[in-house]
């Protein structure tokens, strides 16, 4: 039971930090979309909010898989407002992890309330602006994920495929009919056309209540099917990453961004390991040698080769979880001496 207890504790620490009141207050403040560097910094701090640690190569893999999964969910939303349903699916899944932790559950429910209060009354146009802003943010990422490739929702070049079948967005009709009206608003003619797809009407609208059927499956567990998941960066994507690397020239907004990060980091309650046990290191590679080689060959910008994630069947979960936790290595976490400003994460730790 020790591995399961430890795994549950790691989840509780990360979720508690993610939904910390001060942290949420900073996120919900009206503000410009911050840079990829800022997002990466926040993500790393959240991932390291517990005693579990990842080195840089494993963090790259985890971060890339997260960004592609989120891009997929946003891109394939049937209508802009469904971005909110995707978020609610995320929260529903998180609440399933913390059912036995009422204090943390209350934090998540409070976040749900704030999301409903701020975004529930937005118009379709405002949701479209949010969706487009998110897609522009991730538009240069074309990382191939084996699961997406097998499901034929992603091409070999890493770009996602829009479906031409299934339910149409709620509130719309199945394509195939053109109506013409006169200047009095009266329908005068109908023309049918072949749309080339296999569309059906939406059964019902997803629920925006605290508890309810979201209908939309985007944002739910993608690994519920027993299959390996790998990601690969194509050569063109590597070149694009190099070309789009942020300039080393001084950024006039850098000071404001650092101030924002300082406030954001200040709202996090990072759990420090107690007692002689320094913590766990999570390795997302098959072997330590593979991880070390990836770290040596890793360019300065984002790069990686493969992410392997194996989802297990219900009857195998306990055994598989015990095996995974048994592979965790306890390591000392030495503090590297770097000059202030060389490492953004180190800078946040010193603020």
231: left (phi over 0), alpha (psi -120 to 50) or beta: beta
User: What pLDDT, in 10s, does the model give residues 283-307?
Assistant: 556 566 666 666 666 555 444 444 4
What's the confidence (pLDDT) of residue 12? 87
Residue 1 has pLDDT above 50, yes or no: no
Output the CA–CA distances (angstroms, integers) from residue 259 to 248, 256, 262, 346, 347, in the order listed. 19, 5, 5, 14, 11
Taken in order 113, 114, 118, 123, the sign of the CA dihedral is negative
Count Cβ neighbours within 10 Å for each residue of 41-61 and write b for 16 or more, e otherwise.
Answer: bbebbbbbbbbbbbbebbbbb
Residue 254 has pLDDT above 50, yes or no: no
> Could you tell me the two tokens for 236?
């063109």
Residue 48 to residue 20: CA distance in whole angstroms = 15
Residue 68 to residue 137: CA distance in whole angstroms = 12
Q: Which 3 state secondary structure label does DSSP give 79?
A: coil
Residue 323 has pLDDT above 90, yes or no: no
pLDDT band at residue 79 under the 50/70/90 scheme? very high
What's the confidence (pLDDT) of residue 87? 95
Residue 52 has pLDDT above 60, yes or no: yes
Q: Which one is predicted more confidently, 31 or 348?
A: 31
> Per-residue pLDDT averaged across 141-152, rounded?
86
Q: Which one is predicted more confidently, 244 or 7?
A: 7
Q: Which one is predicted more confidently, 18 or 308?
A: 18
Residue 37 has pLDDT above 90, yes or no: no
pLDDT band at residue 170 under the 50/70/90 scheme? very high
What's the confidence (pLDDT) of residue 120? 92
The rounded percent of the chain whose pLDDT value lies above 70 is 62
Residue 212 has pLDDT above 60, yes or no: yes
What is the DSSP annotation of 232-278?
E--HHHHHHHHHTSPPSSPPTTHHHHHHHHHHHHHT--PPPPPSS--
What's the confidence (pLDDT) of residue 284? 57
> Per-residue pLDDT averaged across 55-60, rounded?
83
What is the DSSP annotation of 142-191?
--EEHHHHHTTSB-TTS-B---SEEEPPTT-PPSSEEEEE-TTS-EEEEE
Polymer length of the chain: 351
- Check if the beta carbon of residue 54 is closer than 8 Å to that of residue 282: yes
- Tell me, yes or no, if the pTM score tops 0.85: no
pLDDT band at residue 268 under the 50/70/90 scheme? low
- Check if the beta carbon of residue 148 is closer than 8 Å to that of residue 230: no
The rounded percent of the chain whose pLDDT value lies above 90 is 35
Q: Which 3 state secondary structure label does DSSP give 30?
A: coil
Residue 4 to residue 215: CA distance in whole angstroms = 31
- Check if the beta carbon of residue 301 is closer than 8 Å to that of residue 241: yes
Query: In sequence order, what are the beta bridge partners of 228?
Result: 310
Residue 86 has pLDDT above 70, yes or no: yes
Q: Classify residue 285 by its DSSP letter.
A: S
What's the confidence (pLDDT) of residue 296? 64
pLDDT band at residue 188 under the 50/70/90 scheme? very high
> Could you tell me the two tokens for 230?
């790998």
> Per-residue pLDDT averaged across 166-190, rounded?
93
User: What pLDDT, in 10s, does the model give residues 151-163?
Assistant: 888 999 999 998 8
What's the confidence (pLDDT) of residue 32? 84
- Check if the beta carbon of residue 2 is closer than 8 Å to that of residue 9: no
> Could you tell me the two tokens for 158?
């890493």
Residue 226 has pLDDT above 80, yes or no: no
> Per-residue pLDDT averaged across 311-315, rounded?
44
Highest mean pLDDT among 26-35, 42-51, 198-207: 198-207
> Could you tell me the two tokens for 221?
């567990």
> Per-residue pLDDT averaged across 267-278, rounded?
50
What's the confidence (pLDDT) of residue 5? 47
């Amino acid at each position: 039971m020790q591995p399961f207890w430890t795994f549950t504790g790691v989840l509780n620490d990360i979720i508690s930090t993610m939904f910390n009141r001060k942290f949420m207050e900073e996120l919900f403040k009206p503000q410009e979309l911050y840079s990829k560097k800022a997002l990466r910094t926040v993500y790393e701090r959240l991932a390291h909010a517990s005693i579990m640690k990842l080195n840089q190569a494993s963090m790259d893999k985890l971060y890339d898989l997260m960004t592609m999964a989120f891009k997929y969910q946003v891109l394939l939303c049937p209508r802009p407002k469904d971005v909110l349903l995707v978020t609610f699916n995320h929260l529903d899944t998180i609440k399933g992890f913390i059912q036995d932790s009422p204090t943390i559950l209350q934090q998540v429910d409070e976040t749900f309330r704030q999301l409903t209060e701020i975004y529930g009354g937005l118009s379709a146009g405002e949701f479209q602006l949010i969706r487009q802003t998110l897609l522009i943010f991730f538009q240069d990422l074309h990382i191939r994920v084996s699961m997406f490739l097998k499901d034929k929702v992603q091409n070999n070049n890493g770009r996602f495929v829009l479906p031409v079948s299934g339910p149409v967005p709620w509130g719309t009709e199945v394509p195939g009919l053109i109506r013409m009206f006169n200047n009095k608003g009266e329908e005068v003619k109908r023309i049918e056309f072949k749309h080339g797809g296999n569309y059906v009407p939406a059964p019902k609208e997803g629920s925006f209540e605290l508890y309810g059927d979201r209908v939309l499956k985007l944002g739910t567990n993608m690994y519920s099917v027993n299959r390996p998941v790998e990601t690969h960066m194509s050569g063109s994507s590597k070149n694009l990453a190099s070309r789009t690397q942020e300039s080393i020239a001084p950024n006039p907004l850098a000071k404001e961004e650092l101030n924002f990060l300082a406030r954001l980091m200040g709202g996090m309650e990072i759990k420090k390991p107690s007692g002689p046990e320094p913590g766990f290191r999570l390795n997302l590679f098959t072997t330590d040698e593979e991880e070390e080689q990836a770290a040596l060959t890793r360019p300065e910008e984002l790069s990686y080769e493969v992410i392997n994630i194996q989802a297990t069947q219900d009857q195998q979960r306990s055994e598989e979880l015990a095996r995974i936790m048994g592979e965790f290595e306890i390591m000392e976490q030495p503090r590297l001496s770097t000059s202030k400003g060389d490492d953004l994460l180190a800078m946040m730790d010193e603020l």
